């Protein structure tokens, strides 16, 4: 059997900050995502799609 992974060593303050980032993350509708990609030049479209997929 594999050993269980150790829990991460995050402090309560770090958890609070991560929760705030998650709560305030921008959410784009499908139409907005398409509009953003269509406006960008071709060389930047791949970067925009990957950023939207990862919520940046």
What confidence tens digit (pLDDT) does each residue in 8-48 have?
777 888 999 989 988 888 888 989 888 877 776 656 556 66
Q: What range defines the domain where residue 44 resides?
A: 28-56
- Does 46 map to a domain? yes
Cα dist from 53 to 8, 9, 12, 24, 45, whole Å: 25, 27, 28, 16, 12
- Spatial distance between the Cα atoms of 3 and 1, rounded to a whole number of angstroms: 7
Domain count, the chain: 1
- Does 2 map to a domain? no
What's the pLDDT at 42? 59
- Spatial distance between the Cα atoms of 35 and 52, rounded to a whole number of angstroms: 12
């Amino acid at each position: 059997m594999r050993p269980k992974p150790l829990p991460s060593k995050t402090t309560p303050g770090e958890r609070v900050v991560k929760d705030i980032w998650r709560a305030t993350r921008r959410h784009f509708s499908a139409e907005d995502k398409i509009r953003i990609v269509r406006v960008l030049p071709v060389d930047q479209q791949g970067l925009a799609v990957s950023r939207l997929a990862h919520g940046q």
